[in-house]
Structure 1
Amino acid sequence: MIQSMTGFGKHVVQLPSKKITIEIKSLNSKNLDINARIPQSYREKELELRKMIADTLVRGKVDFGLYVEITGEETTAEVNQGVVKKYMKQLAGIVQGEDIKLLELALRMPDTMKTDKNDIDATEYGAITTAVKEALSEIKKFRSEEGNVLERDFKSRLLGLGGLLEKVQDMDPERLNTVRERLEKAVADLKVEVDANRFEQELIYYLEKYDITEEKVRLDNHLKYFETTLKSKDSNGKKLGFIAQEIGREINTIGSKANYAPMQQLVVQMKDELEKIKEQMLNVL
């Protein structure tokens, strides 16, 4: 079962004096890239929270947000009165104005607010980790649902590639006969005497260069392996990407050896189907 790297999870915890919101969003990326937005008072727990996310999501560009809204009277921020008064005194010596206006100006200056750093309450942090787990559970569900959509699309594309491969196989004898007739006609047009046995040997050697039996067999095996990998327990986008590269290599070789317009048209259709698979592969975990 494959999973998408795209997902979103959110969970809200209401504490007696705070509302804590956890949001996690992920997009496709070659590796794991976590961008965390955490209030300064919770920074000491950032590494632990990052590890929780990394252990669950494994890969993708992840935006993690921890938002805190004070709903009670509790606050750790206080006005730094000494600094504010000093600013007001200095401002009064520069401009004439009411105290309220001077106060407004002073509060815009640096260091007018001070925050006491307290240890994070164990119960509060427990609520945060629970919220993170819930959000991760939601994003995993989202990823699985998106993965099911991708899997159905992949199977449809594989079916299309398999059908085109069958057409290539059915067309191959006709292609070889056409190439043979073309060569025989070219020699006949020269109007020269040729040794029949030698000509036949050279013709066989020439046709062997355009033989695509191995490519057809390998392509069929790669398509079956891709489908088997889709059914595996773990989502492995990188492995599927490698198989897709091998599929592309065999299609390209068939195209270069075809030397027959109708078959080359089938190859173009196969490349188109494969490109659509590769585009979707970017989202697979």
Structure 2
Amino acid sequence: MIKSMTGYAVADLQCDWGRLSCEIRSVNSRHLELFVRAPDEIRALEPQVRRLVQARVQRGKVEVNFRVKRESSADTSVNRDALNRYAQLATELSDQFPGLTTEFGRLLALPGVLQVPDLEPQQVETDVLAVTETALAAFIESREREGAALLQAITQRVDGIAAIAAQAREWVPMIREAQRTRLLDRLGEMAASVDPSRLEQELVLALTKLDVDEELDRLDSHVVEARRVLARDEAVGRRLDFLLQEFNREANTLGSKSVDSRTGAAAVELKVLIDQAREQIQNIE
């Protein structure tokens, strides 16, 4: 299934030791750029979190943010030694900052003042991985929803390219015959002074240079390949980006060989559709 590189999800989990939140967001990137931000209580679990995300995400700049709100506990206590050190420091700086006061809540938030029971590592790991998996599942779903819209838009452009190529193929015999007649008329004026075999060679050479059958055949094969890639259940953004370069090459050649306003306009329309498809593909994982 096609997935967008942009996505967002958040999950919360009420644990015995507090409330845990995991937020995952992503934007476009050529490769996978993964950033994990976590408070001190769970920072040691970053490698496990990374492995979970890397197993499900191939491309994009992905940010995983954790927040922890510890629950109050009867075992919570105040580190009076730390509190006394802050008090001594405040006394020493009182002349420099006269009238400076600190609210009780902020005082307790100072590092080392409030002592809470140590967390049980195994339970913390279980909870962190659980909330990560929940957020990751929702994150993947958001990417898939946007990917479905991108798939529809890209498919419409590919269908448009196929239709233009088919129309151009119908025009080619008529354009070729008209061009042959025009060249014969011009060469006929020179027939008295030029060897007939040379005239035929020049005619064949001129028509060969204007032949676009090969370009149209390659466009058809690229359309088939694009549809096959779009149906694959994996990351296809890079493959499609390369394929659009091939589409563009054939459209340019078709335009350079055009001797008729119809094929010239077709080449322009092809390039418009190709550019529109490329814009959408830049968002695909």
- Structure 1 and Structure 2 fold alike (TM over 0.5): yes
Is the counterpart of residue 113 in structure 1 residue 116 in structure 2? no
Secondary structure at the residue paired with 2:235?
coil
Partner of 1:225: 225
The code of the aligned residue for 1:22 comes to: C
Over the matched positions of the two proteins, sequence identity in percent amounts to 26
Bigger mean CA deviation after superposition, 65-74 or 216-225: 65-74
1:252 and 2:252 correspond: yes
Q: Deviations over 1:58-101 (max 9, x none)?
A: 21110111011234247698572232222232234557x5xxx4
1:20–1:77 distance in 2 versus 1, CA, 3 Å: farther
**Residue correspondence of structure 1 range 93-132 to structure 2 within 5 A:** 93-94=95-96, 101-104=99-102, 113-114=111-112, 118=118, 121-132=121-132
In the alignment, which residue of structure 2 is the partner of 1:91?
Answer: 93
Aligned position for 2:142: 142
SS across alignment from 1:22: strand
The correspondence of residues 16-27 of structure 1 with structure 2, limited to 5 A, is 16-27=16-27
Q: TM-score, normalised by structure 1?
A: 0.86
Does residue 93 of structure 2 align to residue 58 of structure 1? no
Distance 2:120 2:66 in 1: 14
Secondary structure at the aligned position of 2:55 is classed as helix
Query: What letter corresponds to residue 82 of structure 1 in structure 2?
Result: N
Q: Deviations over 1:25-48 (max 9, x none)?
A: 122211110122211232211122
Amino acid of the structure 2 residue aligned with 1:81 = L
Which has the larger displacement, 147-156 or 221-230? 147-156
Q: How does 1:204-283 map to 2 (within 5 A)?
A: 204-283=204-283
Aligned-partner Cα distance in 2 for 1:284–1:75: 49
Distance 1:93 1:280, change over 3 A: closer
Summarize the Cα distance change of 1:93–1:27 in structure 2 as closer, same or farther, 3 Å threshold.
closer
Cα 1:50–1:255 change in 2 (3 A) is same
Q: Determine whether 1:171 maps to 2:195.
A: no
SS at match of 1:193: coil
- In 2, the alpha carbon distance for the partners of 1:112 and 1:134 equals 33
In the aligned structure 1, how far is the partner of 2:93 from the partner of 2:137? 55
Q: In the superposition, relative to structure 1, how do residues 23 and 257 fare at CA in structure 2: closer, same or farther (>3 Å)?
A: same
When structure 1 is superposed on structure 2, of 147-156 and 211-220 the one drifting more is 147-156
- Give the Å deviation of 1:123: 1.3
Structure 2 match to 1:69: 69
Instruction: Sort the Cα spacing of 1:90 and 1:235 in 2 relative to 1 into closer, same or farther, 3 A.
Output: closer
SS at match of 2:284: coil
Contact residue 20 and residue 69 of structure 2 kept, 8 A = yes
Structure 2: gaps of 5 or more residues: none
TM-score when normalising by structure 2: 0.86
SS in 1 for 2:275: helix
* Contact 1:88-1:103 at 8 Å conserved across structures: no
Q: 1 CA distance for matches of 2:211 and 2:78?
A: 79
Deviation larger for 145-154 or 261-270: 145-154
Q: Counterpart of 2:156? A: 156
Amino acid at match of 2:90: M
Describe the shift of the 1:108–1:128 C-alpha distance in structure 2 as closer, same or farther (beyond 3 A): closer
RMSD (CA atoms): 2.9
Task: Sort the Cα spacing of 1:94 and 1:31 in 2 relative to 1 into closer, same or farther, 3 A.
Answer: closer
Q: Which amino acid aligns with 2:254?
A: I
Please give the per-residue CA displacement for 1:233-283, whole angstroms capped at 9, x wherever unaligned. 323221222222212211111111123232111110011111111111111
Are the equivalent residues in 2 in contact too, given 1:229–1:240 (CA < 8 A)?
A: yes
- Distance in 1, matches of 2:78 and 2:42, equals 15
**Which residue identity does 2:232 align to in structure 1?**
S
Matched positions, count: 279
> Are the structure 2 counterparts of residues 151 and 20 from structure 1 closer, same or farther at C-alpha, using a change threshold of 3 Å?
same
Structure 2 CA distance for aligned equivalents of residues 171 and 239 of structure 1: 31
Give the equivalent residue in structure 2 for 1:29. Answer: 29
Instruction: Report how far residue 187 of structure 1 moved.
Output: 4.9
Q: 1:51 corresponds to which letter in structure 2? A: R
What is the CA distance between 1:191 and its match in structure 2?
A: 9.8
Distance 2:78 2:169 in 1: 76
**Residue in structure 1 matched with residue 11 of structure 2 by the alignment:** 11
How far 1:160 sits from its partner (Å)? 0.8
